[in-house]
């Protein structure tokens, strides 16, 4: 399966977008696809070989899962590559369009259990949540 690609343009400087994307204190405020969910915990050791760990849960406690990746490449304010426990790859590019505009592009290998369109929609909902968070805090 070919990677799924999504992107969004955020009206904020690349350094702020980078910090909000990677800081655990920020991740817990935007890393969920729907307002009935939340991200109660996040750890991020942002360096090659380091780990990203987040927990996503339904607010009613009915369901939750852990998300974990290991970093393969980190170029500050530009690029992050990591792989998930099942071997799928994720790449995030931070493109500074100008001093107050940043395009974020995410490319990820789909998993096999859910339809690609559903996965794209879920990742995009999280990216859109991130977009709103960055522009409103």
Q: What is the pLDDT of residue 133?
A: 98
| pTM score of the predicted model | 0.95
- Which tens digits make up the pLDDT trace of 65-77? 999 999 999 999 9
Share of the chain above pLDDT 70, in %: 100
How far apart (Å, rounded) are the C-alpha atoms in residues 3 and 12? 27
Residues 112, 63: Cα–Cα separation, whole Å: 20
1: pLDDT strictly greater than 80: no
Distance from CA of residue 36 to its chain's centroid?
Answer: 18
């Amino acid at each position: 399966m070919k990677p799924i690609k999504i992107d969004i343009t955020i009206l904020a400087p690349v350094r702020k977008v980078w910090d909000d994307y990677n800081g655990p204190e920020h991740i817990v405020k935007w890393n969920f696809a729907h307002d009935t969910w939340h991200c109660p915990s996040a750890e991020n050791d942002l360096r090659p070989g380091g780990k990203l760990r987040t927990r996503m849960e339904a607010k009613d406690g009915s369901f939750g899962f852990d998300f974990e990746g290991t970093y393969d490449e980190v170029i500050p304010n530009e690029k992050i590559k990591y792989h998930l426990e099942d071997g799928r790859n994720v790449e995030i590019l931070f493109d500074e369009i100008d001093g107050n505009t940043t395009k974020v592009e995410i490319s990820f290998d789909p998993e096999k259990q859910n339809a690609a369109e559903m996965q794209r929609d879920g990742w995009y909902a999280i990216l859109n949540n991130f977009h709103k968070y960055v522009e409103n805090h």
